[in-house]
Chains A and B, each alone.
Chain A
Amino acid sequence: MNIAMHINLWLMAAGNLRRYRAKSLAVMVPLALIMAASSFMMFTRGGFIKEAGTARNFLPDVTVQGIEAGRVGKISLAIKERISKITQVKTVVPRVWGYLPIKINDTDVSYTLMGLDFAHLDYSEKIPWTMESGSFLAPGDRKKAVLGNGVAYSFEAEVGDKIKIEDTLGNKGEFEVVGIFNSAVQVYSTDLIVVSLADARSFFGYNKNEASDLLVYTDHPENADQVAWDITRLFNNTRVLTSKALTNLVIEAFSRRGGTFQAMWLILLVGVLLLIWAQSSHISVDVSQEIGILKAMGWQTGEIIEMEMMESLILGITGTSIGILAGFVYALMGTPGISGYCLGCASIYPKFPVPVHCDLQSIILLFVLGVLPMMVVSAIPAWLAGIIDPDEAIRS
Chain B
Amino acid sequence: MILNSYIITYLVCSIFSLVIGLSAAFYGFGIGKKWDINNQAEEQYRLEKQVYLIITVVSLGFLLRILMIPLWFWTLHSMIISIPGAMCLVGVHNINSPFSYLASGLKLVLPALYGYWLILNFLDRQMVTQPFMKQKLIFLAPLGVLILLETILDVSFFFSAPPRQVSCCTSLFDVPRENIPQIVSQSTYIWLIIFYVLTIFILVEMGYFFIAQKKSKHSERGWWFGNKPLMGLETLLIILVFGVFILALHTKLSPLFLHLPFHHCIFCLAQETWDALIFMGMILIGLILFLIYFWVVSSANYSEANPTLSEKMVNMLKWSGGLLTGGLVILSLHLFLVF
Contact = CB atoms under 8 A, between A and B. Distances in A.
Nearest to A301: B52
Contacts of B6: 365
Interface in A1-46: 38, 41-42, 45
Interface in B37-69: 49, 52-53, 55-57, 60, 63-64, 67
B315 to A, nearest CB: 11
A262 B74 contact: no
B208 to A, nearest CB: 27
A346 interface: no
Interface in A31-68: 38, 41-42, 45
A361 B60 CA distance: 22
B60 A259 contact: no
A302 B52 contact: yes
A58 B63 CA distance: 44
Contact of B5 (A245, A258, A372, A386): A258
Nearest to B53: A383
B149 to A, nearest CB: 21
A305 B78 contact: no
Nearest to B54: A383
Contacts of A283: none
B52 A386 contact: yes
Contacts, number: 85
A305 B56 contact: yes
Given A368-B13, A387-B52, A379 B57 contact: yes
Interface in A369-387: 369, 372-373, 375-376, 379-380, 382-383, 386-387
Contacts of B7: 259
Interface stretch (A187-195, A199-207, A249-257): A249-257
Contact of B20 (A251, A259, A376): A376
Contact of A309 (B20, B56, B67, B84): B56
A266 interface: yes
B56 A373 contact: no
Given A245-B84, A252-B81, A302-B55, A260 B3 contact: yes
Interface in A315-366: 361, 364-365
B12 interface: yes
B4 interface: yes
A368 B52 contact: no
Contacts of A376: 16, 19-20, 60, 64
Given A301-B52, A302-B52, A361-B74, A259 B82 contact: no
B12 A375 contact: no
Give the interface size class of chain B.
20 to 34
A259 B16 contact: no
B261 to A, nearest CB: 15
A255 B82 CA distance: 9
A248 interface: yes
Nearest to B57: A379
A30 B330 CA distance: 47
Contact of A372 (B13, B19, B49, B74): B13
Contacts of A373: 12, 16
B9 A255 contact: no
A245 B20 CA distance: 40
Interface in A281-316: 301-302, 305, 309
Contact of B9 (A251, A369, A379): A369
Interface in A230-262: 245, 248, 251-252, 255-256, 258-260, 262
Contacts of A383: 52-53, 56
A86 interface: no
A79 interface: no
Interface in B197-243: none
A45 B3 CA distance: 13
A156 B178 CA distance: 66
Contacts of B16: 372-373, 376
B278 to A, nearest CB: 18
B268 interface: no
B187 to A, nearest CB: 21
A373 B9 CA distance: 11
B71 interface: yes
B102 interface: no
B12 to A, nearest CB: 7
B155 interface: no
A389 B13 CA distance: 33
A375 B60 contact: yes
Contacts of A375: 60, 63
Contacts of A248: 81-82
B8, B13, B63, B64: most-surrounded residue (chain A CB, <10 A): B8
A204 to B, nearest CB: 32
Contacts of B19: 376
A41 B5 contact: yes
B60 A305 contact: no
A379 B56 contact: yes
B71 to A, nearest CB: 7
Contacts of B2: 256, 259
A255 B49 contact: no
A278 interface: no
A380 B57 CA distance: 8
Contacts of A72: none
A259 B5 contact: yes
B82 A252 contact: yes
A56 B19 CA distance: 43
B116 to A, nearest CB: 18
A45 B12 CA distance: 20
Nearest to A46: B5
A127 interface: no
A365 B3 contact: no
A379 B53 CA distance: 8
Nearest to B171: A225
Contacts of A260: 3
A245 B64 CA distance: 35
A372 B3 contact: no
B60 A368 contact: no
23 contacts: A245-B84, A252-B81, A252-B82, A255-B4, A255-B81, A255-B82, A256-B3, A259-B7, A259-B8, A262-B5, A266-B8, A302-B52, A305-B52, A361-B74, A364-B70, A368-B67, A369-B9, A369-B12, A376-B64, A379-B53, A379-B56, A383-B56, A387-B49
Interface of B: 2-9, 12-13, 16, 19-20, 49, 52-53, 55-57, 60, 63-64, 67, 70-71, 74, 78, 81-82, 84
Interface of A: 38, 41-42, 45, 245, 248, 251-252, 255-256, 258-260, 262-263, 266, 269, 301-302, 305, 309, 361, 364-365, 368-369, 372-373, 375-376, 379-380, 382-383, 386-387
